[in-house]
Structure 1
Amino acid sequence: MKRVTDKDVAIIILNWNAYDDTFECLKSLEHLTYPYFHVFLVDNASQDGSFDKLQQDYNDGKFHLSITFIQTGENLGFAGGNNVAIREAYKQGYQYFWLLNNDTVVDPNALTPLVETLENDKQVGIVGSKIYYYGTNKIWFAGGKVNTWTGKTKHIGIKEEDVGQYDQVKEVDYITGCSLGFRREVLETVGYMCEDYFLYYEETDWNVRANQYGWEIKYVPQSRVHHKVSASSGGEKNLSPIVAFYDIRNGYWFVKRTQKRKLKTFTAFCYAYYKALKKLLKVFIMNQNKKWRRLLYIHRALVNIGK
């Protein structure tokens, strides 16, 4: 085991049935200008042989970076899988952590500004990148806003061409788990991400709780990442039917768990039903495939929030 210094960053990547994406992401990390990092590649029990193939690639010398491979043995979801690697890196003494989606490609300078922001201001707990739609100059994420009355989240700048309009470091409501850096002390004050969300809102919940503990959350546009949006859930225009379940249920759970005012819980409950109605209409108006599965998951979400 390598000796971990205060400058070292644990880069944590979660793989699930995505050999090509993960391979490209890892290769992009070879060009990082920040030299002090180690990759923890954690796999959520992939069924396509991707994890074994990536390990073989590493043993064959195809990656010019150091990687620790971790197999969870089951699909623990986004928070669960990442938490396994975070705990291991924490145990090894890492001071800085960078969660990175496996369907991303990073610019060579992507890590340096994140670390510098954390080093220069000890009150900053979480930092995040400017994220583009892969292969374009179109913004996917330039910081996040969250409505704590409804649970609705919004990516600042989404689908806008980047002409420098979001080039200032700024404090935001949340950073997406697609590219999220944080310091060790956040874990010691806030704890880990809640794993029962499984998909969506786990990092939003974690960001908001961190802010409630006094940590600042900063968007750092000098860090740039390119994202193959929603690759693991069917693509942005053809999301898997189960996405509706987690979107409806978890938005309500997020407000209920992070907000003390009962009125906010009530408005979030109402908004969940509004969101379910919109998704229901969309199934028929847009003639989506797998109609019965989509309707079933919408129904299950409403049953879950009613418990």
Structure 2
Amino acid sequence: MKQMMGKNVAIIILNWNAYNDTFECLKSLERLTYPYFHVFLVDNASQDGSFDKLQQDYKEGKFNIQITFIQTGANLGFAGGNNVAIKEAYKQGYEYFWMLNNDTVVDPNALTPLVETLEKDRQVGIVGSKIYYYGTNKIWFAGGMVNTWTGTTKHIGIKEEDVGQYNRQLEVDYITGCSLFFRREVIENVGYMSEDYFLYYEETDWNVRTKQKGFKIIYCPDSVVYHKVSMSSGGEQNKAPYFAYYMLRNSYIMILRTQQSTINKIFILACMCLHSLRYITKIFVRNEHHKVKRLQYILYGILHALSRKMGRHPEL
């Protein structure tokens, strides 16, 4: 127990134009029962003044936690922004890292079981929380599955009311970047998340590569986090037009990068075409806004996947 309590944790939080969410997330960290942590708050060149306001709040003593503020100077995407802070914490010698979405609120006991899981088994590289929809008892994430044929991912238990059906620790395919706890050795053996995905699938790719290196990936139900869900891309029921672009392109590229089988690579091409038809159908069945722009993003998603063009989506 003494060994476990001596482990300092770097909590990595990425802010982008989201003062209220980030403020609430930081305040929830004050109630953590595990006291040995330091927050690295990194900002992807927010345009709403949120980063400056959070720094001023800190100077005025509104946060009862230690925070290092990092400005990237540009919108580097999810992996790019998080990597800047992870690299700084790594340089400072931290052994454990907790990547946490800024639109989350953590349970006071959320951190302790994550640390304990890594302490008990050196083969565990990544561990993640049980995640609820914000303000509910409805599950958003109880571990993740990756289909390496179709490129699709699935949240175990999503939208189910929690009656204890996922209260057992479980080895899974991946942990969402919403609450992803990992040890230093993952960086040293796998490297950092690939930044050119920009948004979506970067942590899926990283999880797959981590597992291929022999690490276990564990879902830990005793760690509880509440998530406001996809706020950066418009919310779960109001996806931004560019959502399909990233999902089509990045799922395809993830399979190409992580799977060696030629059959896998041919199959994912067919799946990308089927997925694009599904997105097109949704546009008209749901009568979604910005139909032309959504159709353009689907087309660009396919073209950029085939040409391996990565990075941020085109401005349409």
TM-score, normalising length from structure 1?
Answer: 0.98
Cross-structure match for 1:167:
167
AA at the equivalent of 2:67: I
**How many aligned residue pairs are there?**
303
What is the Cα deviation at residue 284 of structure 1? 1.2
Cross-structure match for 1:91:
91
SS of alignment partner, residue 110 of structure 2: coil
What is the Cα deviation at residue 305 of structure 1? 1.7
Q: Structure 1 residue 299 and structure 2 residue 299: aligned?
A: yes
AA at the equivalent of 1:260: Q
What is the Cα deviation at residue 6 of structure 1? 5.7
RMSD: 0.8
Cross-structure match for 1:108:
108
AA at the equivalent of 1:56: Q
In 2, the alpha carbon distance for the partners of 1:184 and 1:154 equals 27
1:181-260 counterparts in 2 under 5 A?
A: 181-260=181-260
AA at the equivalent of 2:54: L
Sequence identity, in percent?
A: 71
Cross-structure match for 1:28:
28
Cross-structure match for 1:130:
130
In 1, the alpha carbon distance for the partners of 2:123 and 2:8 equals 19
Cα deviation digits, residues 213-239 of structure 1 (max 9, x gap) = 000000000000000011111110001
SS of alignment partner, residue 264 of structure 1: helix
AA at the equivalent of 1:238: N
Contact 1:6 1:94 in 2 (8 A): no
What is the Cα deviation at residue 304 of structure 1? 1.0
In 2, the alpha carbon distance for the partners of 1:306 and 1:144 equals 27
Contact 1:109 1:224 in 2 (8 A): yes
Contact 2:6 2:36 in 1 (8 A): no
Structure 1 runs of 4+ aligned residues shifted over 3 Å read none
In 2, the alpha carbon distance for the partners of 1:259 and 1:291 equals 34
Distance 1:134 1:263, change over 3 A: same
Contact 1:6 1:95 in 2 (8 A): no
Cα deviation digits, residues 35-75 of structure 1 (max 9, x gap) = 10000000000000000000000000000000000000000
AA at the equivalent of 1:151: G
1:133-148 counterparts in 2 under 5 A?
A: 133-148=133-148
Q: Structure 1 residue 80 and structure 2 residue 89: aligned?
A: no
Contact 2:139 2:157 in 1 (8 A): yes
Distance 1:192 1:6, change over 3 A: farther
Cross-structure match for 2:286:
286
Mark the runs of 5 or more structure 1 residues left unpaired by the alignment. none
What is the Cα deviation at residue 292 of structure 1? 1.2
AA at the equivalent of 1:44: N
Q: Structure 1 residue 50 and structure 2 residue 59: aligned?
A: no
